[in-house]
Amino acid sequence: MITSNRFTIRLGKYQKMVVAILWGIVTICSFSACTKDHEEDQPDSTYAASRTILFYMVAENSMQYQVSGDVREILAGMKSYNLSNNDRIVVYLDDTALPRIYVIDKNTEATSLSELNPVYTYEEDVNSSSPSQLATMLNNMKINYPAESYGLILWSHATGWIPSSFSGDRNSESQRRAFGLDNGQNSPSKSLNGNQMEVADIANAIESFGKLDFIFFDACFMQSMEVAYELRNSAKYVIGSPAEIPGPGANYATMVNAMFKADNYAEEMVSDYYRNYSSVNNSYGIVISSVNTSALPSFATYMKTLIANNKEALLNANYETTLNYFKYGTWRTEFPDYYDMQGIIKTVLNEEAYTQWLSEAAKVFYCKHYTSWYSAFNQMQNPIDDTQCCGASMFLPLDKYNSLSSSFNTSYLQTDWAKAVWN
């Protein structure tokens, strides 16, 4: 039985500068001392000329138990492919020990986390679910490991776009925090709750850095229209799942090959994630997709008209048989329904309009999925109707959410996606 899934101290300006300087000095020294000179190797031309990827691991929670396995996979993957000497993964790890930074390239000799020497260790704990910490790591990565392109992996628990369940995060009922869980107590417990990061804050943290090639959420529920549209200016592609991510997550030993591709890297990453669950992990099931953010503005314009013409039907349809990655009121009430966008459209539109929607959606989504996925909430396999699955959820501000205990509708209307298509 599957028992785990991936659901569920800010630095001042002067301190950030000191961290950047110290990190740069230490990394130059350790990188020179601990790597081999393979200048003669000719990298495969199918890979990007140079790419640096920030692997941002917020594991001061129950994800602590998945850290060593994923780092071991990264170390194996970086050795397995003919990458450039300038291809690197910068690992920021905040678990139950002090936060630390590792740098991994194809010449790194370590085979496990215990053998890997950090290039920088913080002297005290930090809130890794703070957007200022994410921004600091991105900017320091660019300073110390410049490349022609960049990627970001956000690895932790997550809840999609909805308001945080942690009261300490919420200055108002409309605040939305979704990614990461830093309990601030150096504990592997998830039940302690903790800080989470709002999707809009993620976008703001990336703004000063520049547009990434991809943002990959190895975390539950993060592939939604509300998340992807918020990040449309942050990355060329947003990759993630609208459902729960099984505990093992991605197989980085093979996904490294996809992450450093020059072209089609998003589709390659989706396909690799999917393939990993075709053998030993097939009892989990997976829904994984990429969103082409360059297609989102025109898609939003199309959706605005579609919603305006069908708003009454959208708000009053019977969605009992619609593909739903989380059933509000049946499993728990602190999360809304996570209906697949395609399932919603198929439920409401006639065949001709639905066919037109499929044509528009094909420009945006690339999805791979099995016939079912496993949920830790109802502890069973849940079927996936292929005709209802584009791999991204979409919220509907239904009347059933209008309660004192729920701020879903209020929060939704403040998302960029709702402002673009619903208001």
pTM for the model: 0.89
Using one digit for the tens of pLDDT, what is the confidence trace for 239-257? 999 999 988 899 999 999 9
Per CATH, the number for 13-292 is 3.40.50.11970
Dihedral angle, C-alpha 257, 258, 260, 261, nearest 10 °: 110
Which residues in the chain land under pLDDT 50? 1-3, 8-14, 26-40, 166-175
Q: Which position has the token pair 């005290």?
A: 124
Q: In what order do the strands lie in the sheet with 365-369?
A: 120-121, 100-104, 88-94, 51-58, 149-155, 212-218, 235-240, 287-292, 365-369
Q: Quote the pLDDT of residue 229.
A: 98
Beta bridge partners of 367: 289
Could you state, in order of their start, the residue ranges of all structural domains in the chain? 13-292, 296-421
Helix (H) or strand (E) segment spanning residue 53: strand 51-58
| Residue 33, pLDDT score | 38
CA distance 349 to 77: 45
Helix boundaries (H) for 349-415: 351-361, 408-412
Report how far residue 86's alpha carbon sits from residue 48's, in angstroms, rounded to the nearest whole number.
10
pLDDT at 313: 97
